[in-house]
Amino acid sequence: MPPRLDTLKNARQELRIFRFRALLALVVVVALTALLTGRLVYLQVVEHDRYSTRSESNRVRVEPLPPTRGLIYDRHGVLLAENRPTYNLTLVRERVEDLGRTLERLVSLLELPEDDVEAFKRRSRQRQRPFQPALLMSDLSQAQIARLAVNRHRLPGVEVEARLLRYYPEARIMSHALGYVGRINADELENLDAGRYAGTHFIGKTGIERFYEKALHGQAGLRKVETNARGRVLSELGRQDPVPGRNLTLTLDTGLQQLAFDLLEDRRGSIVAIEPDSGEILAMASTPGFDSNRFVTGIDVEAYQALQQDIDLPLFNRAIRGHYPSGSTIKPFVAVAGLREGVITPEKTINDPGYFQLPNDSRRYRNWLRWGHGKVDMERSLAVSNNTYYYSLAHDLGIDRLERQLGAFGMGQRVAHDVQGESPGLLPSREWKRERYNQSWYPGETLSVGIGQGYLQITPLQLATATATLANKGEWVKPRLARKIGDEPLPRDLPDTPEDIELDDPDGWNTVFNGMQKVLSGREGTARRAGKGLEYAMAGKSGTAQVFSLDKDERYDADELAERLRDHALFIAFAPADDPQIAVAVIVENAGGGSSHASPLAREMTDAWLLDEGHLPDDDSASEDRASSGEEG
CB-CB contact of 311 with 446 (8 Å):
no
Estimate to the nearest angstrom the gap between the alpha carbon of 481 and the chain centroid.
10
Least distance in angstroms from the C-beta of 204 to other proteins = 38
Task: Please say which residue, 14 or 560, places its beta carbon nearer to other proteins.
Answer: 14
Quote the CA–CA distance of 315 and 60 in Å, as a whole number. 47
Estimate to the nearest angstrom the gap between the alpha carbon of 114 and the chain centroid.
41
- DSSP-H helix ranges across 186-330: 186-191, 207-211, 213-217, 254-264, 293-296, 301-309, 318-321
Check binding of 27 to other proteins (CB under 8 A). no
Contacting range for other proteins; rule: CB under 8 A; set: 39-47, 312-320, 527-535, 579-587: 39-47
Question: Residue 466 class from Cβ within 10 Å (0-12 exposed, 13-18 middle, 19+ buried)?
Answer: buried
Least distance in angstroms from the C-beta of 121 to other proteins = 23
Check binding of 233 to other proteins (CB under 8 A). no
Selected from 12, 25, 156, 201, the binder of other proteins by CB under 8 A is: 25
Task: Please say which residue, 45 or 558, places its beta carbon nearer to other proteins.
Answer: 45
Count of residues that bind other proteins according to CB under 8 A: 45
Residues 6+ apart with CB under 8 A from 108: none
Check binding of 550 to other proteins (CB under 8 A). no
Quote the CA–CA distance of 453 and 393 in Å, as a whole number. 15
Q: In what order do the strands lie in the sheet with 233-240?
A: 60-65, 221-227, 233-240
Selected from 150, 234, 303, 627, the binder of other proteins by CB under 8 A is: 234
Check binding of 627 to other proteins (CB under 8 A). no
Task: Please say which residue, 11 or 303, places its beta carbon nearer to other proteins.
Answer: 11
Task: Please say which residue, 46 or 558, places its beta carbon nearer to other proteins.
Answer: 46
Check binding of 193 to other proteins (CB under 8 A). no
Least distance in angstroms from the C-beta of 5 to other proteins = 13
Q: What is the DSSP letter of 44?
A: I
Selected from 12, 30, 194, 492, the binder of other proteins by CB under 8 A is: 30
Check binding of 9 to other proteins (CB under 8 A). no
Check binding of 3 to other proteins (CB under 8 A). yes
Check binding of 5 to other proteins (CB under 8 A). no
Q: What is the DSSP letter of 94?
A: G
- Rounded-to-10 torsion of CA 627, 629, 632, 633: -80
Check binding of 237 to other proteins (CB under 8 A). no
Residues 6+ apart with CB under 8 A from 302: none
Task: Please say which residue, 52 or 68, places its beta carbon nearer to other proteins.
Answer: 52
Q: Which helix (H) or strand (E) holds 628?
A: helix 619-632
Quote the CA–CA distance of 410 and 469 in Å, as a whole number. 9
Check binding of 240 to other proteins (CB under 8 A). no
Site string for other proteins, 251-280 (x = CB under 8 A): ------------------------------
Is residue 275 classed as helix, strand or coil in its secondary structure? strand
What Cα–Cα distance (Å) separates residue 258 from each residue in 174, 322, 529? Answer: 9, 20, 24
Least distance in angstroms from the C-beta of 236 to other proteins = 15
Task: Please say which residue, 30 or 150, places its beta carbon nearer to other proteins.
Answer: 30
Task: Please say which residue, 50 or 154, places its beta carbon nearer to other proteins.
Answer: 50
Indicate which residue of 292, 328, 448, 542 is catalytic: 328
Check binding of 7 to other proteins (CB under 8 A). yes
What Cα–Cα distance (Å) separates residue 360 from each residue in 92, 363, 439? Answer: 87, 9, 21
328 is annotated as an active-site residue: yes
Crossing angle, helix 507-521 and helix 331-341, to 10 degrees? Answer: 160
DSSP string, 158-194: EEEEEEEEEE-TTHHHHHHHH--EEE--HHHHHHS-T
Check binding of 22 to other proteins (CB under 8 A). yes
Site string for other proteins, 213-232 (x = CB under 8 A): -------------xxxxx--
Task: Please say which residue, 52 or 308, places its beta carbon nearer to other proteins.
Answer: 52
Catalytic residues: 328
**Interacting residues toward other proteins by CB under 8 A:** 1-3, 7, 10-11, 14-15, 17-22, 25-26, 29-30, 32-33, 35-37, 39-41, 43-45, 47-48, 50-52, 54-56, 58-59, 226-230, 234
